[in-house]
């Protein structure tokens, strides 16, 4: 007699293991799923911690922090749902490929196909991280409208240029090196412009910023560091390496940039409330 509740027909379902797919692909699959769960769980954390993330006694503009984090985590949570779903299909195909070179070709071509979803997520999260960087420094956005517009436009162009460069593929899904390098250089120019613009804005409002606390200094570096890693991953695709390493690099960077920054903001908010003698229920 069959059981009343049947959640999965294991006999007819593909459940990847290292025995069939290999250890590194399984580690990649593991990290992709953990990232998806972390992003979605972070939304709950933001809702439960809304007070300490928003009602800062010394940084009123920072009250939009929960909204920014929620949008970013939801976007990446959905992106990673797609990534782990389609990567599972890659793992199902790997056991049918016995030649080592052919397996690397499959992983490389699947990376080129799957990673386009990353750029869609970064198109949303990058401007949010830029705004977060400004707000956490107690910079009022209305006071830097022109600089903010150029900053956001540069961020959009940087992501778009990287995405177009990522799509420089032949009909056989092989990377076209020269066009990809050209678009990567364009994205790199936008990246450098963003760094200089952020530095200029911070110097102009140096008297009102509050990034002298250790946690705040750590939280004001997401875009420079994160996009430095993203561009590194972009150019690493031109090297003959296992692309699972690039998957791992980009996934861990996404986790640190979104989930990590939320934890930093919560910890700093808790410290501020303690110093101000404010008793607020999380």
pTM above 0.85, yes or no: no
pLDDT at 237: 94
**pLDDT tens-digit series, residues 28-68:** 999 999 999 999 888 887 777 665 555 444 444 556 666 77
Question: For residue 105, what are the CA distances in angstroms to 39, 111, 164, 241, 249?
Answer: 30, 10, 21, 11, 19
pLDDT at 256: 85
> CB count, 10 Å around CB of 80?
27
pLDDT at 49: 67
| pLDDT over 70 percentage in the chain | 74
> CB count, 10 Å around CB of 102?
12
pLDDT at 270: 54
Query: Comparing 267 with 42, which gets the higher pLDDT?
Result: 42
Q: Which residues contact 33 (CB under 8 A, 6 or more apart)?
A: 84
**pLDDT tens-digit series, residues 158-199:** 999 999 999 999 988 889 999 999 999 999 999 999 988 888
**pLDDT tens-digit series, residues 100-118:** 888 889 999 999 999 999 9
- Burial class for 146, CB neighbours closer than 10 Å (0-12, 13-18, 19+): exposed
Structural fold of domain 22-276: Rhopdopsin 7-helix transmembrane proteins (1.20.1070)
- Of the candidates 67, 59, 38, 41, the residue with the CA atom closest to the CA atom of residue 269: 59
Per-domain residue ranges of the chain: 22-276
DSSP helix/strand/coil, 18: helix
With a cut of 80, say whether residue 145 has pLDDT above it: yes
With a cut of 70, say whether residue 71 has pLDDT above it: yes
């Amino acid at each position: 007699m069959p059981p009343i509740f049947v959640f999965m027909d294991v006999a007819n379902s593909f459940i990847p293991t290292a025995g069939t797919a290999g250890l590194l692909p399984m580690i990649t699959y593991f990290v992709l799923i953990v990232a998806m769960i972390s992003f979605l769980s972070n939304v709950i954390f933001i809702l439960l911690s809304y007070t300490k993330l928003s009602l800062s006694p010394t940084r009123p503009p920072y009250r939009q922090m929960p909204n920014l984090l929620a949008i970013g985590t939801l976007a990446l949570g959905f992106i990673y749902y797609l990534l782990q779903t389609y990567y599972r299909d890659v793992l199902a195909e790997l056991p049918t490929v016995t030649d080592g070179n052919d397996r690397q070709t499959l992983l490389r071509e699947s990376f080129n196909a799957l990673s386009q979803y990353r750029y869609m997520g970064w198109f949303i999260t990058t401007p949010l991280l830029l705004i977060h960087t400004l707000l956490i420094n107690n910079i009022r956005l209305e006071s830097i409208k022109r600089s903010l517009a150029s900053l956001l436009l540069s961020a959009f162009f940087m992501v778009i240029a990287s995405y177009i460069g990522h799509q420089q593929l032949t009909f056989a899904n092989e990377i076209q090196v020269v066009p990809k390098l050209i678009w990567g250089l364009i994205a790199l120019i936008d990246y450098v412009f963003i760094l200089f613009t952020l530095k200029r804005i911070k110097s102009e409002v140096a008297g009102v910023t509050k990034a002298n606390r250790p946690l705040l200094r750590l939280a004001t570096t997401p875009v420079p560091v994160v996009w430095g890693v993203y561009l590194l991953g972009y150019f690493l695709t031109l090297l003959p390496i296992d692309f699972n390493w690039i998957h791992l690099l980009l996934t861990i960077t996404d986790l640190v940039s979104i989930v990590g920054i939320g934890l930093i903001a919560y910890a700093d908010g808790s410290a501020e409330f303690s110093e101000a003698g404010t008793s607020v229920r999380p």
